[in-house]
Structure 1
Amino acid sequence: MIWFSRFNHTNKVFLFQYPNLHKLFYALKGVYTLPYSEIENLICSQLILDSLEEKSIISSEQITEFKDKIFLDMKENADSMAVVLVRDIINNQIKNNLLKSKKSIADLTEELDRLLNSTTVSLDFESVKYEYLTIAEEKDYESYLKKSNIKGKLLSFANSIFGFKKYEDKVFLQMRNDEQLREAFIKEYFQLIGE
């Protein structure tokens, strides 16, 4: 998040994994959001990969190997990835639905039951797992970036396949030195800034 403040010192940027949430936050608070749950997903976007390939920093073969690796990982770890996402959804539901009843213990109990029953964990899990497996099977890279939340793993794959110590440093250096990439990045992900 600190790095993004360099684009515009007056606006905050947050990452969200839920589509269209950015429109609500922008309208309500002037907070800009991106469709990714992790910054590493953003710096592995196709825009960045294409730029690094164009500058001969990485090859198309390496990009293909990288994507094959992440899709295989998603397929092999769909269960654990789905558990993490369902857990996060449940935690958000609990955080955002504080109990309000003050009338009676019966009302409070009913409100708690409604909250707990609103989450159909097994159904959510199967749905999320199916979505991950579909993304992996179809090799849908953009959906992978939007839906995955595997802190550190994506950068580890990038480092090993692209041969970098720190992929993110290479990306940030490239963005500092390449005005065309910086402008394309801002246009793609920060369209509302300055409007």
Structure 2
Amino acid sequence: MSLLTVWPDTDAGTVELRTEDPQEITDVLKQFGVSFSRWELRELPERPSSEEVLEAYRAEVDEVIEREGYIKVDAAVMAPSQDPQWPAQAKAAREKFLSEHTHDDDEDRFFARGAGVFYLHIGDRVYAMLCEAGDLLSVPANTTHWFDMGTEPDFVAIRFFHDDDGWVGAFLNTDTAEKFPTFDELMASR
């Protein structure tokens, strides 16, 4: 189940809100222009291609494209592998997103499988949104955030973009992300 946790940005030891209630999550996040919703899950192959994921969710994807004007959509598939390169690849993928950054584009992600945490640093609070299968999170452009997929990434996520460049982050050179519970810690606390 989805989980929203809120802390002051100076004190990760003080939880101000922890909720799994979808309506409460929606209400809290919409104050900041962040939208949260859920889609019905579809059956996917064990290791789906981007095309298979997009086809399974074609109606929902088309509706988001039409409403938001996205021109590029893909599916990111991260799954543990027996490949000896997997641990290094997983570590590099995770580290890419672990620092605070912004984007000139909205960041819309739908989790078709697995989970990940978006940490939104808004004002003097950090909002950790643990997204799981079925969750669609839409983070407005220029929102300071970071993302943690965990030390053993295992997810399928549909990504939406307004331009062909795809994911482009502007990193902020802060240590805020290092002060808050990781994906693995949040999952273990449930």
Structure with greater proportional helix content: 1
Per the TM superposition, whether the score is higher than 0.5 is: no
Q: TM-score, normalised by structure 2?
A: 0.24
Structure with greater proportional strand content: 2
Q: TM-score, normalised by structure 1?
A: 0.24
Larger radius of gyration: 1
